[in-house]
Amino acid sequence: MRFPVPALVLLLCGLPHALGTSCKLLRPTNTDGAEMGLIIVPGAYIKGTAYQPLAQTIQDLSPHKLWVGLTDGYVTDLPNPLELSSAIQACKQAIVQDGMKTDVFFIGAHSLGGTFLQMYLSDNPRQAKGMLLWGSYLTSSYPMSTFPVPVLTLNGDLDGLVRLGYSWKKYREFVAMDGNFSTAYVYQKPVVVVPGLNHGHIASGPMPSNVLNMDLPAEMTMEQAHRLIANSSVNFMVANSPNNTAAMQAAAVKHLRTQMNVTGRILAPFDIVSALDYDGKTSPWVTTAQQSIIGAPAALQSKLTVKTKVVDNILQLGDNKPKVEKEGDMVTVQTYTKLDYPLNPIDNSEPYVSTNMLSTKMKRQSAVVQELGPGDYNSPITCKDLNQMAFQIASTAASNTAMTRYQQKGHHLTFADDEMKSTGSGWLSGGLTFEDQGDGTVKVTSPALVTGLDAWFGFDGMHYCKLLSPFRALEYIYTDSLRHVS
């Protein structure tokens, strides 16, 4: 769901409306049932007619007398705000002129088409009874709870352009509204993840270069994918359209609730690992990392407390140094960390959802031993060891399906020895790196700064790392490891 380059946006802003949009009409295959229309908006650089196989499958599974209009003919095959309204109206007009006698319309869209469709329907909610987003989602500009029409968000767990983390974010937004799946939100704002579905499954025929480059390998046929997409889409339309029987609506709602439960199970690993980065107060993963560096024997662990403060910016991180304090026989270690999230002001689906890294200032083992006292401590460990632990946490949380894909097809992560820095500024400016080795592996390296107990000016006994987030490792397992593999 990438946004067009600024130059193309400027070009479109200078164009008149409706330069040449068209509508391909698909007449109903079912002559019974309530009458309604479905209009489809394509993804970027994809012809509208590429959605005909999916549309026909939706018609075949629908209990309605369903008319379909495929919008097409956008400038450079890119759906855009200037042409979208006229394209939708042209399809509506064509359907009505061909014989449809009601004003019940749904509008579906793929990928970037969904981004522009939500902008249109937020301002024109009377134009549709509901919106179907395939390989797309409501961006942060449009909260789910207040969006003025029902919305189906449907993505695949193999979608390489809409990271699974973005489906997780939308699912969490839904759960915040209706955690028990007991209200009308279940059919008005459902979030569905389809196992084995990728981004290109939604359309048919040749895909644009960005889809070919970013999407993940398919695990089902187009026909299988279209039936799964159509099944949830039809149930969404049945649940949100008038003139259906109570039994039809109840069956549709039951299906959507089942799909929501399946989606919850698929996304459960993301719930587990995301809370390790930041739980609203601290970073449990950094606390675990510091405890692992100390490696205190069991007999001394009750006397040890590790606190982690998450700072807002690099200046605060630079100004604060970790410390060890002792009061009586109790020892407290204070660490500092900054979460370096990707910049994503427009809620594009390409960046990671997780933090790029955790820039973390900790104390080395020997500095804590001085205060905690002697004992049978674990062997000293490195930033590399901690990053391997993060990956192991993610591997344990991931589903069996995800790990099988990673192990059999994925580019495996390997971990290099730490890149040792001699100054705080050198460490601060460095970053966790991921380097493709060209042999099916990706090498992860952390800058590190470790100082002696005799260092001057309060820099004694430091252990600084750029830590891999378990959440980032999980995103890599599910999505990035599978790119560019057969």
For residues 435 and 354, membership in a common domain is answered with: yes
Rounded mean pLDDT of 390-411?
98
Looking at 239, 272, 305, the residue that finishes a domain is: 272
pLDDT at 7 over 60: no
In a domain, 129, yes or no: yes
For residues 159 and 297, membership in a common domain is answered with: no
In a domain, 388, yes or no: yes
- Of 65, 77, 66, 85, give the one whose Cα is nearest residue 17: 85
Q: What is the pLDDT of residue 243?
A: 84
In a domain, 466, yes or no: yes
For residues 411 and 462, membership in a common domain is answered with: yes
The 10s digit of each residue's pLDDT in 437-479 is 999 999 999 999 999 999 888 899 999 999 999 999 999 999 9
Separation of alpha carbons 52 and 39, rounded Å: 11
The total number of structural domains that make up the chain: 2
In a domain, 1, yes or no: no
For residues 283 and 267, membership in a common domain is answered with: no
For residues 264 and 282, membership in a common domain is answered with: no
For residues 262 and 144, membership in a common domain is answered with: yes
Residue 140 dihedral angles phi and psi, to the nearest 5°: -65, -15
Looking at 227, 248, 272, the residue that finishes a domain is: 272
Looking at 232, 255, 272, the residue that finishes a domain is: 272
* Full-model pTM: 0.94
For residues 198 and 148, membership in a common domain is answered with: yes
The 10s digit of each residue's pLDDT in 12-61 is 444 444 458 999 999 999 988 999 999 999 999 999 999 999 999 999 99
For residues 397 and 456, membership in a common domain is answered with: yes
For residues 360 and 242, membership in a common domain is answered with: no
pLDDT at 263 over 50: yes
- Domain membership of residue 329 as a residue range: 278-482
For residues 221 and 335, membership in a common domain is answered with: no
Q: With the C-alpha atoms ordered 357, 358, 360, 365, is the resulting torsion angle positive or negative?
A: negative
220 touches 183 (CB < 8 A)? no
In a domain, 348, yes or no: yes
In a domain, 201, yes or no: yes
In a domain, 182, yes or no: yes
For residues 59 and 74, membership in a common domain is answered with: yes
Q: Which residue has the tokens 């590790």?
A: 306
Rounded mean pLDDT of 177-202?
98
For residues 256 and 287, membership in a common domain is answered with: no
Q: Which CATH number is 207's domain given?
A: 3.40.50.1820
Separation of alpha carbons 359 and 446, rounded Å: 10
